[in-house]
């Protein structure tokens, strides 16, 4: 942490990692006994650290050191770090929950479903849709792109993941495409801008490439969602079959 010039003389950036831990815990209200317990050391060792700290910051009492640290904004800085740790921990729990769901699906199957694994861990955001483009599956990258929790996209229409402007035109075009008989591809958002509407954050321009295929339950499609590429030719070159650009 960077301190103001007013406190630079009091707290030069010379404390060791363990000395900083002792000071941090003291700032948050821990007694020396609680600090010892938190760091798995003895109380006498904590006292030794205070001696070293005073040798670096000046002949101040424990309460004076803590008071100056609080005045310098150290408590607020620690609170921000703890909030960020909590946020990252939440993301980790979300990913672990999703992985556990995949594992349960694999355990319930006769063997490893390599197709599901390939979709789930693909580097691009992928959706599987049916009917009038209702999402029945979303991989990890799709969940990250739209900023949602596991399975939140399932049951949602693809059109609802885009901004309201032009949504009904897209809905009609996708419905017509999904009802066509032969396999085919379309790309939305190339000539006419299409903006994704994430659960969190601002809208951003995307292209959505639909590849329709036939199943016993009717037509389905795999939808690849990418942030907009200005070079249309790059999109066309990445596809092996003719495609309708819209």
For residue 177, report the phi and psi dihedrals to the nearest 5 degrees: -65, -45
CATH code for the domain of 30: 1.10.10.10
CATH code for the domain of 128: 3.30.450.20
Is residue 135 located within the same domain as residue 228? yes
Is residue 54 located within the same domain as residue 133? no
Structural domain includes residue 12: yes
Is residue 54 located within the same domain as residue 169? no
Checking if the pLDDT of 8 tops 50, the result is no
Q: Cα-atom radius of gyration of the chain, to the nearest Å?
A: 28
Torsion sign (Cα): 141, 143, 244, 129: positive
Is residue 144 located within the same domain as residue 232? yes
The strand pairing partners of 87, in sequence order, are none
Structural domain includes residue 99: no
- 18: its two tokens: 């363990």
**19-60 confidence digits (pLDDT tens):** 888 888 888 888 999 999 988 899 999 999 899 888 888 788
pTM (whole model) above 0.85: no
**Quick check: 105 and 113 in contact, CB under 8 A?**
yes
**191-213 confidence digits (pLDDT tens):** 778 888 777 778 888 888 888 88
Is residue 50 located within the same domain as residue 118? no
The Cβ-side half-sphere exposure at 170, using a 13 Å CA radius, reads 27
**Domains held by the chain: number:** 2
Q: How far is CA 174 from CA 155, 224, 229, in A?
A: 16, 14, 21
Domain span including residue 40: 5-72
């Amino acid at each position: 942490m960077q301190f103001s010039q007013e406190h630079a003389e009091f707290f030069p950036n010379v404390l060791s990692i363990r000395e900083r831990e002792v000071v941090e815990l003291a700032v948050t209200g821990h007694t020396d006994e609680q600090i010892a317990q938190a760091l798995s050391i003895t109380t006498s060792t904590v006292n030794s650290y205070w001696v070293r700290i005073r040798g670096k910051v000046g002949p101040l009492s424990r309460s004076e050191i803590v008071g100056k640290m609080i005045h310098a904004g150290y408590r607020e800085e620690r609170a921000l770090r703890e909030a960020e740790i909590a946020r990252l921990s939440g993301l980790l729990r979300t990913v672990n929950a999703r992985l556990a769901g995949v594992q349960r699906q694999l355990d319930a199957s006769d063997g490893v479903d390599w197709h599901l694994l390939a979709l789930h861990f693909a580097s691009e955001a992928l959706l599987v849709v049916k009917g009038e483009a209702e999402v029945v599956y979303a991989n990890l990258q799709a969940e990250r792109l739209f900023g949602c929790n596991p399975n939140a996209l399932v049951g949602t229409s693809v059109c609802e993941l885009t901004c309201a402007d032009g949504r009904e035109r897209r809905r009609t075009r996708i419905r017509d495409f999904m009802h066509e008989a032969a396999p085919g591809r379309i790309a939305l958002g190339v000539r006419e801008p299409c903006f994704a509407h994430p659960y969190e954050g601002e809208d951003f321009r995307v292209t959505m490439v639909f590849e329709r295929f036939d199943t016993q339950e009717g037509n389905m499609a795999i939808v690849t969602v990418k942030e907009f590429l200005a070079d249309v030719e790059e999109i066309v070159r990445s596809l092996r079959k003719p495609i309708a650009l819209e």
